[in-house]
Amino acid sequence: ALFKLQQEGFVDVLFRSGWRVLPFDFDQFEELYDLRQVLETTVVHRLCDGAPKIDKPQLDELAAIWLVSLGQRSTDAGQVAQWDEAFHCALVAAAGNAEMARVHRDVTNRIRVIRRLDFTKQPRIDATYDEHGKILQAIQHKRGDQATLLLRSHIQTSQAEVRKITLHQVHMARQAVR
């Protein structure tokens, strides 16, 4: 587990001294979110333009989770975080480009820890349901520009929320050390 954390840039091995937690790299976080946004918005356009390898059943599975009534929505933050990640990965996979899906999985794995911070408050869970539902409806109606705008806004809002929470946690950790 520590070697995986080292590989992902969270810890460093100190020769014969143990491990050291590295400072959070906000620039890398921003770059990974930029790459994620490029991949996902490209995919949404392909889904709306009728790319030849679209996996429609996969999109239908997403609709069964995200296009539900308020009473059917999960309030379990852990479950919604898993579904959120699966939503974004399934969108990319549904477009049928294996290389894009592979790169997206790598980005997803690298930002998973911080993305989960977005589901610590119920209003963000509710917003995720609403936003995913609108994105799916735009895709179903082949409205590529609308789906792209919705997806970009969704990712940027989540990114800003995670950034705010991360900055707050770093601040609190520094205060605790003093």
Q: Where are the domains of the chain?
A: 25-177
- Token pair recorded at residue 152: 């970009």
Residue whose token pair is 């810890």: 11
User: Residue 117: what pLDDT?
Assistant: 74
- pLDDT for 12 equals 79
pLDDT digits (tens, 9 = 90+) for 75-85: 998 999 999 99
**Tens digits of residue pLDDT in 115-152:** 777 777 888 899 999 999 999 999 999 999 999 999 99
Q: Most distant CA pair in the chain: distance in Å?
A: 59
Q: Give me the architecture of the 25-177 domain, per CATH.
A: Up-down Bundle (1.20)
Q: What is the pLDDT at residue 16?
A: 78
Q: How close are the terminal C-alpha atoms of the chain, in Å?
A: 30
DSSP state string for 69-111: -GGGS---HHHHHHHHHHHHHHHHHHTT-HHHHHHHHHHHHHH
Q: Which of 141 and 29 is assigned the larger pLDDT?
A: 141
| Verdict on whether the full-model pTM lies above 0.85 | no
Exposure string (b/e) for 81-97, b if CB count within 10 Å is 16 or more? bebbbebbbbbbbbbbb
